[in-house]
Amino acid sequence: MQESVSGASRRVYITSVGLKWNSGILMMRVITCIYLTSQKGRTLYFADPSLINRSCGITSDIRPQDRLEESVKRDKNRVNVEKIQPDGTTGLILKVDAAFGEGSAALVKGTFYTEGADGKADVLQQGLFIDYPNEKDLTESILRNTQEFISGLESELDRINDPAATDARNVESPSYRKYIDPTSFVDYQLIQELADNGDAYFRSTFFHKEIGGRLQAGPIWDLDLAFGNVGWDMETPASDFKYNFMEGRPFFAQLNKDVNYKCLVVCRWNIHRVGGLSDEWFEGFFNENRALLSKGPSEREFKRWKTLGQYVPRVGLGFNSTAPSFYLESWEDEVDMLQKWVSMRLRFMDNVMQGQKEYLNCDCEYADEWAQIIE
């Protein structure tokens, strides 16, 4: 479905409306990640908040409060990579997922995400795909060049396992940096870990690359299992980091073995915590969206869908979307619980970052900015 709606200052093309009907009764989980990501200047598009109380002329049976977001696609207002050029070069959107997307082409043979999937449980049978260009537009040259690029990146990531390559602190530039923008990977990782996203890194994980540029992580996508929207995560928001989970996140698991990358993770977290990830920012965000959604949207939601205080089945996953002790009776209570969950997760990540003292006085490109903040 494609629907155009006039926003406050632009025309919005809606290609994806909401999430699955059973993705959780709180509409703020997804938009929390979206706002956090857009604050960091990362590629992400979000429809104008004023659309929240409009029907948009859509008559299908969607949730009465759905906020609108665009699917990941090549577009000047979405993922702004180049189209295929006359000389055959092109921008790229790559995706890690459990199965082919329609029109996607697999990058098989020798990548972490395909070789590493052998013998693992079905939930980790992921692959690395070219999402743009579409499979019908791919040439042998584009496929070969992309495979060579990814193979080169993975060869450099493999070197992180070599003690000779990782013992030296703050070397001039780890060799994998010629393939990726590490800051984009760090910011992507911090948002995924803060959200404790159950699908992080091995499902609906996107990367993009401009012609002649380095691989960027993002945009972030698929957040129905984030912010405790799986029963055990709501009860234990301070459990672990997702990049360690079942060895199913090889790019990020490898990067986190590198002292230079870990230094960047700690430094960026500390900088964000006094800016776009501060306690004050979150308090303002929740207050603003509570006011926006509490009257009208949330009332229509639960008039149409009788989910408050109820078990909401998650089709095909075989576990409760929320533990029974968290079946709350009001939308306000749900927001309070989410806000408490986020606060606990922030404390957990603060403690982990502060505990990694060997990275607190690093010499990364953001060290001077952090030094000015703490002066």
Is 134 within a domain?
A: yes
Cβ atoms 309, 74 nearer than 8 A: no
Is 32 within a domain?
A: yes
| Residue 326 CB neighbour total at 10 angstroms | 16
Is 4 within a domain?
A: no
Is 6 within a domain?
A: no
Show the tokens assigned to 281.
């920012």
Q: Output the pLDDT for position 85.
A: 96
Is 354 within a domain?
A: yes
pLDDT in tens, 84-95: 999 999 999 998
| Residue 158 CB neighbour total at 10 angstroms | 13
Q: Output the pLDDT for position 317.
A: 44
pTM: predicted TM-score of the whole model, two decimal places: 0.78
Q: If you search the block for the tokens 């940096």, which residue do you land on?
A: 177
Range of the domain at 348: 13-315+324-372
Is 7 within a domain?
A: no
Report the number of distinct structural domains present in the chain: 1
Q: What are the Cα distances from residue 210, in Å, to 14, 41, 213, 267?
A: 24, 16, 5, 27
Bond prior to 133 in cis (omega within 30° of 0): yes
Is 3 within a domain?
A: no
- Ranges in the chain, pLDDT < 70: 1-70, 98-126, 161-173, 230-239, 245-249, 297-299, 301-302, 304-307, 309-328, 360-361, 370-375
Is 5 within a domain?
A: no
